[in-house]
Amino acid sequence: MSKEQKLREAQELLRALGLPKKQYNQRSAWVFLALANIRPEDDWGNAQAPMLPTVDIMQFIREHYGQDYKPNSRETIRRQTLHQFEQARIVDRNRDDPSRPTNSKDNNYSLNQPIIDVLMEYPNAAWQQKIEEYKEDLHNLQELYQRKLDMEKIPVRLPSGQEIKLSPGKHNQLHADIVHEFCPRFIGESGLVLYIGDTASSRSEGGKLLVLEATQLEALGVPPMSHDKLPDVVVYDEKREWLFLIEAVTSHGPVSPKRWIELEKALETCKVGRVYVTAFPDTAEFRRHAADIAWETEVWIAENPDHMIHFNGDRFLGPHKRQ
C-alpha cells in the first residue's frame, strides 16, 4: 500500500474521531501513524502503542514517510497536534510516570486502549461502532484522566489557609517544602507569600502564576516585574519588615553574584530589608552549586530543614545594610 493511501486512512480515522480540521491535517496524520507504529506496508490490525518522545515520532515520520521535519518543528508538533490528541483522549502522556513534569526531556506519548481497539477493526468490521463507543465514553475518559493528573499534583497550603496545587516535579516539590518547612521555621506566622509560580508548566500547557500579590509587592516598593524575573518564591515578614527572595534550585540558578546584582538593581526602590535565600532539595545539589553562591546570602537545604548556611561574616539571618 502506498504512503499516500496510509496518510488518507489516518486522516479518515482522525476525522471520524471528531477532531477539528487542523488536527486531521497531514502533520497530525503522520504523527498518528507514528504513534500507532504503522508503516506503509502494515495493516492497521498490527497497531501498537509504544511510548514515544516527540523526537522519536519525528524520526519515524522521516524514516517511513519521507517527511523531514526540522528540529525546530518539535514544538509545533507538541503544541498543535500532541496537545490536542491528549485533550481528545487519543493519547496518554507519560503513561510510565504520570508524575513526570510537563517540561521534562523524558516526556512521551502513546495511544490509549480505546483507540487501539478502533484500529484493530479498521477498515473492516466494526471500526465505526468502536468510534461511537469511544465518543460516548469520551467524557468519562477525560474525567478519569484529569483525576489521575490531579492525584499527581503537589498540594501547597499557604499561611492564609488557601490551598493551591503545583504540577508534579522535583522543582515544584521544593517550592512546597519552602512554604511548608522553611517559612514556619525561619519566618513564622507573620510571613505572607506574595509570589509563587508553577514552574513545571509552561504557559502553552496551561501553566500560571499561582500566587502573585502585585498590589502588595508594589506597596513594598517592588516594581512590576515579569514572573520570570522574580525569584521562585517571595515571602514578606510583616513583623521584621523583611522581604525573603528565595531561589529554588534543582538543576540551575542559585543566588549567584550576577543574580544578586541583577535583583539588587531591580529592587533598588524596595522599602524593606531584603533577604536572599537559595533553597536546595539535598546536600548533593548544594555541593554542585556551592561555588556560585553569592556572599551575604543564605542557603537552606530541605533534607536538613532546621538549619541554615550563612554565606556572610558579620551577622546571621537578616538583610544587610547597603553602602
What residues pair up with 299 in beta bridges, in sequence order?
278, 309
Helix, strand or coil, per DSSP, at residue 278: strand
pTM, to two decimals: 0.58
User: pLDDT band at residue 60, thresholds of 50, 70 and 90?
Assistant: very high
CB atoms within 10 A of CB 25: 15
Cβ contact 85:110 at 8 Å: no
In degrees and rounded to multiples of 5, residue 111 shows phi and psi of -65, 145
Tally Cβ neighbours within 10 Å of residue 320.
15
For 70-90, write each residue's pLDDT tens digit: 888 888 999 889 988 988 889
Cα 43 from Cα 119, distance rounded (Å): 9
Angle at 76 between CA 5 and CA 16, to 5 degrees: 40
* Same-domain status, 139 and 254: no
pLDDT in the model for residue 322: 62
Residue 318 domain flag: no
Residues 138 and 165 in one domain: no
Task: State mean pLDDT over 284-303.
Answer: 94
Instruction: Judge whether 321 lies within some domain.
Output: no
For residue 152, name the pLDDT band (cuts at 50, 70, 90).
low
Same-domain status, 245 and 272 = yes
Residue ranges making up the domain that contains 296: 154-311
DSSP 58-124: HHHHHHHH-----GGGHHHHIIIIIHHHHHTTSEEE-TT-TTS-TT-TT--EEE-HHHHHHHHHTTS
* pLDDT one-digit tens code per residue, 154-191: 778 887 778 888 777 788 889 999 999 999 999 998 89
Same domain, 174 and 295: yes
pLDDT in tens, 5-56: 999 999 999 988 888 887 889 999 999 999 999 999 999 999 999 999 999 9
Cβ neighbours around 217 below 10 Å, total: 20
Contact 168, 187 (CB under 8 A): no
Whether residues 19 and 141 share a domain: the answer is: yes
Q: 129, 151, 173 — which closes off a domain?
A: 151
Asked whether 267 and 229 are in contact (CB, 8 A), the reply is no
**Res 283 pLDDT > 70:** yes
Task: Give me the chain's average pLDDT, please.
Answer: 85
Q: What is the pLDDT of residues 218-249, one digit of tens each?
A: 999 998 876 567 898 999 999 999 999 999 99
d(CA 207, CA 295): 33
Query: Which CATH number characterizes residue 72's domain?
Result: 1.10.10.1820
- Bridge partner residues of 187 (DSSP): none
Taken in order 49, 137, 80, 44, is the CA torsion positive or negative?
A: positive
251 and 120 co-located in one domain: no
pLDDT digits (tens, 9 = 90+) for 181-191: 999 999 998 89
Domain count, the chain: 2
Q: What is the pLDDT of residue 88?
A: 84
